[in-house]
Amino acid sequence: MNTKNPNMKYAIISTKGVHEYDIQVIKTEESTTYSMCYSQSEIWSEPGMHLQTITDGGNDMHLNVKIKKTMDYGTFAELSILFDFVKNHDTILMDEYQIYKLIK
């Protein structure tokens, strides 16, 4: 992370090369906030719409929207993208894991 400018915006590009989402990172002394929204691309019916925010307060993670017991595939994909981004952006957050083989 660029510590001289801790408040940065990242474009999330699909494997098809489409700019689909933006994630804004805002770092303060107390917390780091990751806000995800639709990109301004015309693929969305509501370009720029806010989807989810995760705030890392140092001891826990806080989601601004409650996760329901069931969700559609789009919501699942968006949360997966945001969780992966946070995991990859904050390299001291957690250990790396690999799946080696299926246990019968």
- What are the tens digits of pLDDT across the range 49-101? 999 999 998 888 899 888 888 989 998 999 999 999 998 887 665 666 666 76
Could you tell me if 13 and 20 are in contact, meaning their C-beta atoms sit under 8 angstroms apart? yes
Q: What is the mean pLDDT of residues 13-20?
A: 92
Question: Where exactly are the structural domains of the chain?
Answer: 8-89
Burial 51-72 (b: 16+ CB within 10 A, else e): bbbbbbeeeeeeeeeeeeeeee
Q: Which two tokens stand for residue 7?
A: 């408040």
Alpha-carbon distance of 49 to 26, in angstroms, equals 18
Which of 22, 32, 11 lies closest to 87, judged by CA?
Answer: 32
